[in-house]
Amino acid sequence: MEGIEEADPYGNYEWLASKRRKMEDVETIEATKSPHIGPKSVYKFKLVIKSASDKRIYRVFTLANKMKIVLISDPDSVKSAAALSIQAGSMSDPKEFPGMAHLCERMLFAGNSSVTNSDETCFETFLQKYDGEYTSYTQKDLAVHVFDVNPAAFHASLDRFARYFICPTFPRNSLEEEVDGIQAECDSRAANDEDRRALVAALLTKADHPFSRFDCGNKETLWNKPLKEGSVDTLSTLTIPTKLFLDGGNLLTVLCNS
């Protein structure tokens, strides 16, 4: 803006705009060989603006498959962590299956073709062994899966974490149990003011807009009604949100203490 020193970061929109323009300048280099992303994948790096008091080191880049990566190095962190943000939430649900994205979130870690659920290899059991924990949640426009763990076990944990998204199996014998879990979660929301406000907001939205959909789902929408109507099998319909994982635009954030 005219009349404002470019070096002044306070209230100077031109200064901020110039920084944003620099962030859009990307450097493209050949990626190292990886069994998952392939030898010809390309990283596109972006600059990061951070506070002068922030001693962490950041690397932000986009892979050739359009997945965005944020790497954070913090030697003072007592744990390492990773979070995957999937750009598909309840507004991506099929109309006939309210709560499908929520069910998909829960079913992802119910089984895996490469990582079995024995005491030795179950992801959450493995994390607990190394003072870690896992959680996930689904919102209107995204689903998030996150874990933290002792740094000594981080690489092994990250490999296990990734495999659930690379080779999801959605085991049929876990389906009703997960639907019952969603029903219990739905029942508990009735006593939560924030959840009730969200429900009112959805009810006030135009009926043909995805925001108006019943995002949590329950046993009626995900089990009883499909069985009664003889409609598409709930489990096979899980492939719809799964395909959205591969469309790009997802974000993986990794925090390491190195």
CA–CA dist 9, 209 (Å, integer): 41
The active-site residue out of 105, 120, 177, 194 is: 105
Q: Where are the alpha helices (DSSP H) in the chain?
A: 13-24, 100-107, 123-129, 154-166, 175-189, 193-203, 219, 225-229, 234-237, 239-245
Q: Is 25 helix (H, G, I), strand (E, B) or coil?
A: coil
Q: H or E stretch including 135?
A: strand 133-138
Q: How many CB atoms lie within 10 A of CB 133?
A: 13
Contact (CB, 8 A) for 138 and 67: no
**From residue 10, how far is each of 50, 120, 213, 251 by CA, in Å?**
14, 54, 42, 30
User: Known catalytic residue: 27?
Assistant: no
Cβ neighbours, 10 Å, residue 182: 21
| Residue closest to 61 by CA, chosen among 95, 34, 23, 93 | 23
Contact 106, 182 (CB under 8 A): yes
Residue (of 140, 26, 147) closest to 86 by Cα position: 140
Which residues are catalytic, by number?
105
